[in-house]
Structure 1
Amino acid sequence: MTQPTFSAIGSMPGTDVRDTVRMVRDLVGDKGIPFLPELPARGPGADMIGRAASHLVGLGVDLQPSGWRLADSSGLDARRGAAYLRQDLDELAEAFDGWSGRLKVQWCGPWTLAASLALPRGERVLTDPGAARDLVQSVAESVREHLQQVARLVPDAELVLQWDEPSLPAVLAGALPTASGFGRVRPVEQGVVVDGLEHVRDAVAELVVAQVLHCCAPNVPVPLVRRVDGLDLAIDISLVKPRQWDGIAELVESGRTLWAGALATDAGAVRPEKVVDPLLRSWREIGLTGADLHRVVLTPACGLAAVAPTSVPGHLRTLAQATELLGEASESLSAG
């Protein structure tokens, strides 16, 4: 990137895939990084967990009242999840016919999926190291297949892969409840988490121009992300603690991109200055430069699935305007 840009996290409100894909193309495509939207309001299998679970390679899943679990074979809900994604890709291929430039797709990361899926006996996959390793390998294969399909449909796109890992802080802290609710799942060692992230990163590295880990939960493990070479970071900047900004500065100065969640998803109409100013204050305080702002992608703080559909175009236009202000600030900081 030579200038700041903008995008969104991926989840969107409503159930009309065709209209949503075209809105993303029209409002983000010219100046930002468009993306394949997720519409979880359609039901199980269209959500982040269900989509990834439905496409696991070599592992079956079914949906129980308690959530998704591994099974001998995939059930009806998994087949419905696969059908949702086929529909999404059909609409993507039509709307982005002839597209060249960056195009982002999202996938649930291996550790959030291991925290969310259950073993057949009911405990989280995370509690079984062998099952967790198998899941990491399956995620890597399924994402590789997905990216290859997107590349066939939009052959001139430069693909960006976003790994959604909202449960990562809880996985590392041992904060997830057991199936009984009376205990906590043991924390996963950082080295094991890094190995898993490196495995999935390597599996798709030749298919994408960038990979970004997205976590909009508190206590994002910034030092751990820095250990995984080539992985950018997407965060809700309102949740960043002062001590975390130094780690973010190191990440940016190393040449990686910060996807700054700067627009509150529960806010009404806001001026673009309200989006940019908090980021710029922190930027100056940690000594980053105007040139460093070129490695910023502005986004909403998290997904937009809970936002009123009529508000989404305004959010995207605000981000586009805020990006222009960030570009002006970059020139001002560089000059002076």
Structure 2
Amino acid sequence: MEATYPWPAGAATGVGSLPGTDVVEAVRTVLGELPDLPHLPELPARGPGSDLIGRGASFLVELPVDLQPSGWRLVDRPGRDLRRALDLLERDLDALTEQAEGYTGPLKVQVAGVWTLAASIELHNGAKALSDPGAVRDLAASLLDGLVAHLADVRRRVPGASLLMQLDEPSLPAVLAGRIKTPSGYGTVRRPEESVVEQVLATLVEKVGAPVVFHCCASDVPWALFRRTGAAAVSADLTLLGPPDRWSTRAIDTIGEELDAGLGLFAGVVPAVPPAAAPNTADARAARRAQAQEMSDPAASVTPVRTLWQRLGFDPAGLASQVVTTPTCGLAGATGDRARAVLAQVRAAGRSLVKDPEA
């Protein structure tokens, strides 16, 4: 039986962040450039509380946080930093309510995942929450409660939307490999068992009340683990694999096994920022020429996806349904013009998969 996905064929979306501080303009841009699968944008340039960890921590229920010189820390009572984060979130939701009035279709929201939060947020003693299994369990339960309430709020504000929840887990590969540093910087936090990691994520996927997409911008994405949790899709930067003609058989097989099992792919194919102008080497010039070609030819942007499908021997007819095109990462570091151009490019690239899946 062919898998069905909670997004239309040829859809494109953003990873999450955009440049600037004007949330109304950001929401308007996303709705205009990504009409098939818009998302609630994040604006880290506004400062603490709009960053990945600060925004994610604001969803924790009865686990208040405060910003310390070393980062976000669990505290006994809510303070100014948490109130600021919650106020920024409320402004974002108000902008979404106003700009998305009458919208019907899929809508994505994003938040830092539990293992990335646990690897970043400190306990009262300054140690990472990851170092205490009990604290991780509390963090996971608290985050789940907050996300359920958040999704209910978004549904109330945009009643025609069918929601997707993106959980950002950029730190998960480091957690699994035992690479998270202790406060001293000389040691590492003991890594949790993979079965524990999987169970925590599977519980979130099961109970959050919306299809879940895991985003991981590392080179060692835990594809199989994410698929086993019941996630609808994984969002990853495909350019980290290198040029398509140099992809290793191991990488192809690893991704292909999960895609063959029905996992959706949010394929990061359009670079968030253009290649650096220097050095003026042959490789750098070739990279800039390739980027210029891709930005003038949307179909060229999805060459990695088509190559993947061909090497796996998959039916190209299913490509546009299973794959959503995205930028390679968040766009907070791009200029406003570049961000709009990238979103327009991923939209055109996604639609090119529908027009000619075998191109």
SS of the aligned residue for 2:302 comes to helix
In structure 2, the partner of 1:250 is 257
Contact map agreement 2:50 2:85 (CA 8 A) in 1: yes
Contact map agreement 1:253 1:292 (CA 8 A) in 2: no
Instruction: Return the offset for 1:200.
Output: 1.3
Contact map agreement 1:290 1:329 (CA 8 A) in 2: no
Corresponding position: 1:187 with 2:191: yes
Contact map agreement 1:63 1:75 (CA 8 A) in 2: no
Instruction: Return the offset for 1:246.
Output: 1.9
In structure 1, the partner of 2:164 is 160
Q: Show CA shifts across 1:63-103 (max 9, x none).
A: 00100011111221110000000000000000011111000
Consecutive unaligned residues in structure 1, runs of 5 or more: none
Matches within 5 A, 1:140-159: 140-159=144-163
**Equivalents in 1 of 2:33, 2:140: separation in Å?**
35
Q: Show CA shifts across 1:31-58 (max 9, x none).
A: x300100001001001111011123101
In structure 1, the partner of 2:92 is 88
Moved more, 234-243 or 152-161: 234-243
Instruction: Return the offset for 1:2.
Output: 5.4
Structure 1 ranges of 4+ moved more than 4 A: none
Contact map agreement 1:60 1:72 (CA 8 A) in 2: yes
Q: 1:99 to 1:2 in 2, by over 3 A?
A: closer
Matches within 5 A, 1:116-155: 116-155=120-159
TM-score calculated relative to the size of structure 1 = 0.94
Of 19, 22, 47, the residue aligned with 1:16 is 22
Corresponding position: 1:302 with 2:309: no
SS of the aligned residue for 2:208 comes to helix
**Equivalents in 2 of 1:2, 1:18: separation in Å?**
26
SS of the aligned residue for 1:302 comes to coil
Q: Show CA shifts across 1:254-281 (max 9, x none).
A: 2221000111112265232331112211
**Equivalents in 2 of 1:34, 1:2: separation in Å?**
12
**Equivalents in 2 of 1:130, 1:251: separation in Å?**
31
**Equivalents in 1 of 2:346, 2:230: separation in Å?**
28
Amino acid corresponding to residue 289 of structure 1 in structure 2? D
Q: 1:187 to 1:329 in 2, by over 3 A?
A: farther
**Equivalents in 1 of 2:253, 2:354: separation in Å?**
22
Amino acid corresponding to residue 286 of structure 1 in structure 2? L
**Equivalents in 2 of 1:317, 1:11: separation in Å?**
15
TM-score calculated relative to the size of structure 2 = 0.88
Corresponding position: 1:292 with 2:292: no
Instruction: Return the offset for 1:285.
Output: 1.0
Q: 1:77 to 1:188 in 2, by over 3 A?
A: same
Corresponding position: 1:102 with 2:106: yes
Contact map agreement 1:252 1:292 (CA 8 A) in 2: no
**Equivalents in 2 of 1:247, 1:229: separation in Å?**
17
**Equivalents in 1 of 2:128, 2:118: separation in Å?**
7
Q: 1:81 to 1:288 in 2, by over 3 A?
A: same
Contact map agreement 2:272 2:339 (CA 8 A) in 1: no
In structure 1, the partner of 2:233 is 232
Corresponding position: 1:51 with 2:55: yes
Corresponding position: 1:313 with 2:340: yes
Instruction: Return the offset for 1:128.
Output: 0.4
Consecutive unaligned residues in structure 2, runs of 5 or more: 1-6, 242-246, 276-291
Moved more, 286-295 or 4-13: 286-295
**Equivalents in 1 of 2:90, 2:12: separation in Å?**
26
Q: Show CA shifts across 1:116-167 (max 9, x none).
A: 1001111100000000110010110111111000000001100011000000
In structure 2, the partner of 1:278 is 304
**Equivalents in 2 of 1:48, 1:96: separation in Å?**
23
Superposed CA RMSD: 1.5
In structure 2, the partner of 1:64 is 68
Contact map agreement 2:214 2:231 (CA 8 A) in 1: no
Of 6, 9, 19, the residue aligned with 1:3 is 9
Of 155, 159, 176, the residue aligned with 1:172 is 176
